[in-house]
Structure 1
Amino acid sequence: MEDMTYWKEVWERKGNSNTSCLEELDGYEDTTANVKEIAAQIVKELDIKETDRVLEVACGAGGLAQYINCGEYVGVDYSTSLVKKHIQFLNNSVLHGEANDLIFKDKTFDKVFCFGAFHYFPNQEYAMQAINELKRIAKEAVFIGDLPVTSHREEHLLYNKKDFKDWNITDGYYNPCRFNVSLKL
């Protein structure tokens, strides 16, 4: 899929729905994912402390953010309706933006993470731009989670563990066909 029009429409529609369930807004309603457990794993993997400045890219309505305890949390998402829901429900600082073109200065955040979004990217070039942006704005560590090796949907962008040779690679948290990567800077 070479553009994200389809996925942007999906997420705008979700954000405009009447539900207040963060897991449903963030697309976990038809999965076995335990969002609270996933957030705990990310906190552990990144060693997020109560004093850290943390950026979540593709934060959605805040399903993970509700469980992240840090000094300052900032989220970015390309869905304006989900950004509005996130602010409405959690009162976090959340901005509208694209993962491959973040507005922050170099080394702005201690820890940066993105979970469950890379398979919605249009192509590998966009994904590499996003990875470079995450690394650019992080001081200490980057985490990217839920990268699919295979998928039931042809619209999903797939990844290969070999492309992350300098990263720490772990198994997916709830789906054996996915993996996570982290990088200490």
Structure 2
Amino acid sequence: MQNNWYKIWNRRQVDGIEQPTLLLLLVANGYDTQFSGVQESAWMAYVQHIADQLNITSKDSLLDLGCGAGTFLYPFYQQGNPVAGIDYSANLVKIALAAMPQATISVGEAIDLPRDRQFDVVLSGGVFHYFPTYDYAAEVLRGMVQIAQKSIGILDVPDLSKQESAISARKAGMGDAEYEEKYRGLDHLYYTKDWFQQVLATESVQVTMEDQCLQGYDNSKYRFNVLIHKH
């Protein structure tokens, strides 16, 4: 999946990784743009909310596809959960391992998730819109369900019904010309909520949706979370 987004995220670096903090991981994962001013307290509240929604306990093992610098995994790692992650950016994986040296973090594509292993909870946050096609996304989603024992979370999904509003907001923030220059060749996939229901129609799961709920994150109003529980 070597697209233009790959080049951008593989260049992502931050200073101070020798002493990683949650704030540094947030910066590394891109929560420092004009569309995002997420504070540590807001992030922790968001992580706790998702943990409650997916029934994540202190003993559960977690796999995060597209984990980036490990921002979502970090609070669970600190409390002793077994955590693992995959990301296609070698630089971000390096940052994640500096923050979580005992975690299992590797460089790879989401579609290459470890189908021979089982995890209590499998997540992917802010990643599905970077996938090249809906078929690719469907294969990743079915793979996540296959290896999850308890629950699955697909977080921060761009809502197709709000696509025009999302693009208009970005253009308003930077101007049409700058938008066209900055995002040329950088396409996002937008999803309907029905798409997830359709892909998982033959799976033994319960699927619920909620609006994204991350304070300080302007994209929230255009995105939703998919919360999946296995029967």
TM-score (norm 1): 0.89
CA deviations over 1:16-64 (Å, ceiling 9, x no partner): 3435411111111121443222211221111111111111111111111
The 2-side partners of 1:77 and 1:122 are apart by 15
User: How many residues of Structure 1 are paired with residues of Structure 2 in the alignment?
Assistant: 181
What does the per-residue CA deviation read over 1:83-139, in whole Å, with 9 as the maximum and x for residues that have no partner?
Answer: 111101221221112111212415x10111111111111111111111011111101
Q: Could you say which residue in structure 1 is the equivalent of 2:192?
A: 160
Q: Match of 1:44?
A: 52
Q: Report the 3-state secondary structure (helix = DSSP H, G, I; strand = E; otherwise coil) of the residue aligned with 1:63.
A: coil
Match of 2:221 among 167, 176, 182: 176
| TM-score of the two chains, using structure 2 as the length reference | 0.72
The structural deviation recorded for 1:77 is 0.9
Kindly indicate which of the two structures has a greater share of residues assigned to helix. Answer: 2
Counterpart CA distance in 2 for 1:35 and 1:76 is: 21
Percent identical pairs in the alignment equals: 29
CA RMSD between the two structures: 1.8
**Correspondence for 2:3:** 5
Alpha-carbon distance in 1 for matches of 2:135, 2:196: 15
Partner of 2:179: none
Query: Which runs of no fewer than 5 residues in structure 1 stay unpaired?
Result: none
Task: Letter of the 1:44 partner, please give it.
Answer: D
State which drifts further: 33-42 or 59-68. Answer: 33-42
Distance change (3 Å), C-alpha of 1:70 and 1:140: farther
Q: Which residue of 1 aligns with 2:174?
A: none
Asked which structure has the greater CA Rg, the reply is 2
Partner of 2:66: 58
- 1:146 maps onto 2:149 in alignment: no
CA 1:118–1:19: 2 relative to 1, 3 Å: farther
Equivalent AA in structure 1 for residue 31 of structure 2: Y
Secondary structure at 1:95's aligned position in 2? strand
The CA distance in 1 between the partners of 2:107 and 2:83, in whole Å, is 15
Match runs of 1:13-92 below 5 Å? 13-14=11-12, 16-18=13-15, 20=17, 21-30=24-33, 31-33=36-38, 34-68=42-76, 69=79, 71-91=81-101, 92=103
Deviation at 1:12, TM superposition (A): 1.0
